[in-house]
Amino acid sequence: MSTIAPEFRLSRFIASLTDIIFWILLIFSIIGLPLVFILLFYIKLPVVNGQLLTPYLAMTWMADPSRTIPIIKSLIHTEFFRIIAFPGFGFAALLAAATIFVERKFLAKIQLRVGPLYCGKIEGILQLMADGLKLMSKEIIIPAKADKPIFWVAPLLFVGTAAALTSLIPVAPGWVAANPNVGLLTVFATIGFFPIITVLSSWSANSKWTFIGGIRALHQMISFEIPLILSLLGIVILTGTLNLTEIVESQQHYWWIVFMPIGAIVFFITIIAELERIPFDLPEAESEIVAGWLTEFSGMMYGLIQLGTYLKLYAFAGLFTVLFLGGWNGPMVWPPFPQEIITNGITIGPITAHIPGLPLFDQEMLNGTLWFVIKTVGVILVILLPRGVFPRIRIDMLLHTGWYTLIGLAFVNIFIALGLLYAGVLGHGGLMQ
Amino acid sequence: MATQLPPGIELEKVDDRIMTLNVGPQHPGSGHMRLIIKVDGDYIVSCDPDPGYVHRGEEKMAEYRNYIQNIPHLERPVIHDSCNILYPYCLAVEDLLGIEVPERAKYIRVIGSELNRCTYILYWLAIYGIFLGHSTMFMWPVGDRELFIDLLEAMSGARVTHAYFVPGGVRNDLPANFEERCLRQVDYFEKRLKEYEDIFYQNPVLKQRTEGTGILSRMDAIRLGTTGSVLRASGVDFDVRKKEPYDVYDNLDFETQVLREGDSYARSRVPYLEMFESCRIIKDALKKMPKSGSVRTKLKPNPKGGNDEVYRRVESGRGSLGYHIISNNRPEPYRVKISVGSFRNLICIPYLLKGEKLGNMPAVYWSLNYWPVEADR
């Protein structure tokens, strides 16, 4: 009897079904329910229809289809949702994944190729998932002489720091995971962690290639962080605030790129260098130093670093949008939520469903998100473009660019900002109130 | 307790400032060889090339096979320049056996050789692009290489290892409509080559990176015995096709491309300019070729070379490529010595890399038009 294709037996089929149901019930009651409780513990439960939601009541409502909308809405407006899903990690990771796909197709178009094509039927849309599965199923190899705790923790630190950077980006009015008053300063502080993580991981791997790559990354990040900070001082001078939300609100009529194009160019070049993308990918130059500071990472450790890199890419593109391109500001193009649904409910054939609690998101938020995403995607595409056009530059050219050209231009930008401020064109009491 | 070393062997003294790097054979920027590089900070203090990882004993193998059986295995060292590596062998065996080659076969050999030269240079250029981090310059030449591979496939039946040239001519005649198709594809390719200029050779970052690095002066180039594009990039006007014309090269209209700078940029540009000349040669040869006639002189079965020796060389994609064949009245050659351009250019690496920055290593190393497999033979 062949074991590859056993005969079908009804009794075994029913037995397997009951088996599955048993395990689902067991896992749900032992793991699932406590997880829901833990989740609900951290949500500040709202008062809906005069009733204070308790965890049991919330779970009762979740089982009732007509009452799920208010509970979803209350979930959306919690801090938990902001950090995990919408302006926080989930949204950023989604955009980062889309970026990887777009980068592949975009670069393939430049290079007269087709890019990923087969995985997922439609233009290889599932290629990323396949790559992720491959990375997860690979063995993680730790070098024998590595400093193991630091080597293990470096990819996690990298993703964590990149995610911290994404949480500072305001996506729509009022929609930001963390909104400190010194937002721009927090951004600088978070960027300052990356060289430390890079050097830690490269040193702990105890390999020559990672060592050279780490030193190169250190040189690159330090020499480009100074022009990065200086190029943004013009905006701080003109707006008089460090809060990113207030900086976006100050651009309701004019974007800062109109008045400070030099600062925008300097900031753009420095973010390409901070992201270690071509032409500034010296720390990972594969023809010179294998893979630089990533040489010894394998399997999902490498995957985490890549995830962190693309989160960082989204964060920097978002930062450029927020600081120079007006953030969420834009004409109102999103249609308002139809009033009939709120008053009359949805009628499908004989059934009329009254859904309380709609709309989930207000019009301004959706419109702001739309404009933010459009601008950010545009910036990301421009960041991706040099990879198809430029070769890699050399370390001395890089340092020369960082310390001479960019710092000089950043100072020119500061003087332009000061001039605009003292001439009274912009700033307090000027063109922009 | 220190172990007693055998007499004559010393331990290498280690300097704290100096780090030794093994670039290869498993390094993405090395090819099938190893460069033992010592760096002081970012500067290379010494470089010791270590070839021999793909030595296959082609010369010894040739002593056990007769003149016809030798054809397919001799093209293995450079499979994407297989016409040019067989060319001097065919010329030498023809001299040895006293065979006259038909006129049409001579033209077909020139066309095949030039098509194959372009295939090789495109492959080399693709790797030069990716060594400098320019991924578009990797994809474009590899894609355009298909034009020539298709033509060579139509000619010989094989895409890469053609075994098309045989002593006495070529293996088979050209297919119908070949001339028309060849002209069309070569015209298209010349248009594409002009786009390479825009994206690669006029790229400011590339110029900054490669201009003035790894300078090989004219006298050094002659003294070190370099050949091919390396020699011509240093200002020496030497091309075997011009100086010792073989087959019908003296009838054809082309020029030798010489640049004077002698840096990595010039060395990478000379093969690019040579592709234009190759296209010119192909078009000219198609025009002047006899439209019909025999393409192969039949050899006697198991031909024996006399008690003789012969040396013939041609211009391959990597410089002059010569065969020295000694025969002793037997069907097999007594000795076959292959003198390849790659091995002669290898000697420059320690001179050129000394004092360069580590970032210049791939740019200088690959600009030498060096193919490790051919150098090992």
Task: Look over chain B and give the mean of its residue pLDDT values, rounded to a whole number.
Answer: 87
pLDDT at position A82: 81
Q: Where are the domains of chain B?
A: 57-345+359-376
Compute the nearest-CA separation of B11 from chain A (Å): 21
Virtual torsion, Cα A260, A261, A264, A269, nearest 10 deg: -140
Is residue B129 within 8 angstroms of chain A, CB to CB? yes
Compute the nearest-CA separation of B203 from chain A (Å): 7
Residue A395: band (very low, low, confident or very high) from pLDDT cuts 50, 70, 90: confident
| Chain A hits for B136, Cβ within 8 Å | 110-111, 388-389
| Chain B hits for A392, Cβ within 8 Å | 132-134, 205, 209, 359
Q: What is this model's ipTM?
A: 0.81
| Chain B hits for A393, Cβ within 8 Å | 205, 208-209
pLDDT more than 70, % of chain B: 99
Whether domain B57-345+359-376 has CATH 3.40.50.150: no
Residue A66: band (very low, low, confident or very high) from pLDDT cuts 50, 70, 90: low
3-state SS of chain A? Answer: CCCCCCCCCHHHHHHHHHHHHHHHHHHHHHHHHHHHHHHHHHCCCCEECCEECCHHHHHHHHHCHHHHHHHHHHHHCCHHHHHHCCCCHHHHHHHHHHHHHHHHHHHHHHCCCCCCCCCCCCCCCCHHHHHHHHHHHCCCCCCCCCCHHHHHHHHHHHHHHHHHHHCCCCCECCECCCCCCCHHHHHHHHHCHHHHHHHHHHHHHCCHHHHHHHHHHHHHHHHHHHHHHHHHHHHHHHHCCCCHHHHHHCCCCCCHHHHCHHHHHHHHHHHHHHCCCCCCCHHHCHHHHCCHHHCCCCCHHHHHHHHHHHHHHHHHHHHHHHHHCCCCCCCCCCCCCCHHHHHHCEEECCEEECCCCCCCCCHHHHHHHHHHHHHHHHHHHHHHCHHHHCCCCCHHHHHHHHHHHHHHHHHHHHHHHHHHHHCCCCCCCCCCC
Per-residue pLDDT at A157 exceeds 80: yes
Task: Look over chain A and give the mean of its residue pLDDT values, rounded to a whole number.
Answer: 84
What residue in A sits closest to B139 (Cα-Cα)?
Answer: A111
pLDDT at position A24: 93
pLDDT at position A121: 75
Is residue A390 within 8 angstroms of chain B, CB to CB? yes
Per-residue pLDDT at A204 exceeds 60: yes
pLDDT at position A48: 66
Q: Where are the domains of chain A?
A: 140-422
Per-residue pLDDT at B208 exceeds 60: yes
pLDDT at position A3: 59
Inter-chain contact B27–A290, Cβ cutoff 8 Å? yes
| Chain A hits for B137, Cβ within 8 Å | 391
Inter-chain contact B209–A391, Cβ cutoff 8 Å? yes
Compute the nearest-CA separation of A290 from chain B (Å): 6
Inter-chain contact B134–A390, Cβ cutoff 8 Å? yes
Residue A321: band (very low, low, confident or very high) from pLDDT cuts 50, 70, 90: very high
Nearest-CB residue to A112 (from B134, B140, B359): B140
Nearest-CB residue to A208 (from B21, B132, B203): B21
pLDDT at position A316: 92
Return the exposure string of B330-352: e unless at least 16 CB atoms fall within 10 Å of the residue's CB, then b.
eebbeebebbbbbbbbbebbeeb
- Residue pairs spanning A and B at CB distance below 8 A: 80
Per-residue pLDDT at A353 exceeds 80: no
pLDDT at position B169: 86
Residue A46: band (very low, low, confident or very high) from pLDDT cuts 50, 70, 90: low
pLDDT at position A379: 92
> Residue B20 corresponds to which amino acid?
T
DSSP for residue B296:
B
pLDDT more than 70, % of chain A: 92
Query: What's the mean pLDDT in B356-377?
Result: 86
Inter-chain contact B136–A110, Cβ cutoff 8 Å? yes
Is residue A114 within 8 angstroms of chain B, CB to CB? no
| Chain B hits for A278, Cβ within 8 Å | 133, 135
Residues belonging to chain B: 377
Inter-chain contact A391–B140, Cβ cutoff 8 Å? no
Inter-chain contact B21–A113, Cβ cutoff 8 Å? no
* Interface mutation vs chain B, best among A394, A395, A396, A400, most B CBs within 10 Å: A394
Per-residue pLDDT at A61 exceeds 90: no
Query: What's the mean pLDDT in B291-308?
Result: 84
| Chain B hits for A388, Cβ within 8 Å | 135-136
Q: What is the pLDDT of residues B239-272, one digit of tens each?
A: 888 888 888 888 888 888 898 888 889 998 999 9
Query: What's the mean pLDDT in A18-36?
Result: 90
Q: What is the pLDDT of residues A215-271, one digit of tens each?
A: 888 888 888 888 998 988 888 888 888 888 888 888 887 888 888 889 999 999 999
Q: What is the pLDDT of residues B72-126, one digit of tens each?
A: 888 888 888 888 888 999 999 888 888 888 888 989 999 999 999 999 999 999 9
* Interface mutation vs chain B, best among A287, A384, A385, most B CBs within 10 Å: A287
Per-residue pLDDT at A356 exceeds 70: no
Inter-chain contact A388–B136, Cβ cutoff 8 Å? yes
Comparing CA positions, the residue from B279, B344, B333, B273 lying closest to residue B303 is: B333
Compute the nearest-CA separation of A115 from chain B (Å): 12
pLDDT at position A112: 87
Inter-chain contact A111–B130, Cβ cutoff 8 Å? no
Per-residue pLDDT at B70 exceeds 80: yes
Is residue A289 within 8 angstroms of chain B, CB to CB? yes
What are the distances in angstroms from CA A427 to CA A184, A251, A413, B183, B280?
18, 11, 15, 67, 65
- Global pTM reads 0.83
H or E element, residue B151? helix B136-156
Distance (Å, whole) CA A259 – CA B10? 68
pLDDT at position A23: 93
Query: What's the mean pLDDT in B270-291?
Result: 90
